[in-house]
Amino acid sequence: MAAIPTIIGMIIGGKLRFPPFTRETFLLAMLWCWFGITTLNVYYSNLFVHHLDDTVQRYGDVTRILMMVLIAMILIGDKNKLRWWYLITAGCFAFLSFKALRFGLVTSGEARVYGPPGTELADNNGFGLALNMSLPMFIYLARNEESKAVRIGFYVAFFAALVGVVLSYSRGALVGLFFVMVVIAVQSKHKIRALIGVFVICGVLLAAAPKQWIERMETLKTAQKTDASAQERFNSWNFAAHLAYEFPVLGGGFKTFTEPLYQRYGLSLISELGTEYGPHSIYFQMLAEHGFPGLFLFLALIGSCMWSALRVKRIFRRIDRDHWLVMYANMIIASLVAYAASGAFLGFAYFDLFYQIVATTIILKYLAKKEMRELAEAEEEVEGAEEPEQLIPNLAT
């Protein structure tokens, strides 16, 4: 309903053009192509063909996500459109954060918070991951907004999301929360005070946490031996390692975590809780489903986005520490850290919010290069205007 009118509007409005070509664009295209190759491998493999229908369905879902990412890179070509894209995105997660806070108050924190049913966020783990990734959006959009009402709304949403992550009862999300809060603090002008603030907030959350939450988190100490959920993860990672060892190049394709393949390595797909094991890690998920080349491209994409955001930040911080490009670069870095940390324990390798962050990196590099050109043109009449010109090629890759 959203994609088809958007594509038609692009054609009618004459907006069809190539997306900005960067290192991240190339890596994303390579990863997309590799998904197609591993899907074809499932079709031609007698061992993997039993999950072909699930593989094709998942490939279609991922393709639709990446198609809309591509369209976003084509359509969002200026600061104002990028701002509205994130006002809408962050606004949606702010709404969910407020709902999570309300639910926590009504239940006194004794029940888990889940995301909207029938979505990628329905699971408490996925919801916790999404809130972690949205925390940098709230804090940096608020700092860059002129509207007082919007600023206040995002600051309130930031603290509501903190409560939502804790009440998700997701240990993977809790790990990600710690890392993203530290990164936000380090990016602050007042690093020491911000870090102290992080530990104060952690102390308040721990002091106010319900008994059930404390008991859940204490299982981290003995998770490997006593916690069924943790044992699911170790079992899934063991399966992924066995599969990658036998099929290191192409893996098993999308949805390769199946009963016949688990039995092949003497493992069981069904956990003690009566549910099927999932990947339980973005890294093991990529490794099992797309082999070492898929994992390499995935890690390279994350690392490249991080590096590019750091370079944009470093260049424009010389001009203005509070430059809007610096704010977006900080947001990208913190959101990627949240995804990389929480994702180590959650199977969300195809989470669309991550691919939006990738698209944002590509768009930001394009806008940064455009901004540097404008600065260079404005300073051509002034002596010593060579420095901005020299900075432009640094963003080309």
The arithmetic mean of pLDDT across residues 35-60, rounded, is 94
- pLDDT of 8 reads 87
* Three-state SS annotation for 210-250: CHHHHHHHHCCCCHHHHCHHHHHHHHHHHHHHHHHHHCCCC
Lookup: tokens for 128: 């916790």
The arithmetic mean of pLDDT across residues 307-322, rounded, is 90
Could you give the C-alpha distances from 4 to 27, 71, 86, 308, in angstroms and in order?
26, 11, 21, 32
- pLDDT of 288 reads 94
Give yes or no for a contact between 122 and 159, defined as CB atoms under 8 angstroms apart.
no
- pLDDT of 232 reads 75
Could you give the C-alpha distances from 219 to 169, 170, 174, 198, 305, in angstroms and in order?
12, 12, 13, 23, 34
- Cα–Cα distance for residue pair 343/351, rounded to 1 Å: 10
Which residues face 28 on adjacent strands? Answer: none
Averaged pLDDT of the chain: 85
- The residue assigned the tokens 């239940």 is 107
- pLDDT of 275 reads 54
What pLDDT digit, counting tens, does each position of 327-353 carry?
999 999 999 999 999 898 888 999 999
The arithmetic mean of pLDDT across residues 45-65, rounded, is 93
Residues 6+ apart with CB under 8 A from 50: 258, 260
What pLDDT digit, counting tens, does each position of 73-83 carry?
998 988 999 99
Does the structure show a pLDDT above 80 at 35?
A: yes
- The amino acid occupying position 188 is S
What pLDDT digit, counting tens, does each position of 238-291 carry?
889 999 999 999 999 999 998 889 888 887 766 555 555 678 899 999 999 999
- pLDDT of 214 reads 64
Does the structure show a pLDDT above 90 at 396?
A: no
The arithmetic mean of pLDDT across residues 15-44, rounded, is 92
What pLDDT digit, counting tens, does each position of 188-233 carry?
877 777 778 777 777 776 666 666 666 666 555 555 554 556 677 7
Query: Between 377 and 164, where is the model more confident?
Result: 164
Half-sphere exposure of 229 (CA within 13 A, CB side): 11
Query: Between 388 and 382, where is the model more confident?
Result: 382
- pLDDT of 278 reads 74
The structure's pTM equals 0.87
Domain range list for the chain = 84-218
- pLDDT of 222 reads 52
Give yes or no for a contact between 356 and 28, defined as CB atoms under 8 angstroms apart.
no
- Cα–Cα distance for residue pair 338/22, rounded to 1 Å: 23
Give yes or no for a contact between 62 and 254, defined as CB atoms under 8 angstroms apart.
yes
Query: Between 350 and 120, where is the model more confident?
Result: 350
Q: Provide the pLDDT confidence category of residue 43 given band limits of 50, 70 and 90.
A: very high
Query: Between 159 and 277, where is the model more confident?
Result: 159
Does the structure show a pLDDT above 90 at 379?
A: no
Give yes or no for a contact between 172 and 182, defined as CB atoms under 8 angstroms apart.
no
- pLDDT of 34 reads 97
- pLDDT of 120 reads 82
- pLDDT of 322 reads 84
What pLDDT digit, counting tens, does each position of 83-105 carry?
999 999 999 999 999 999 999 88
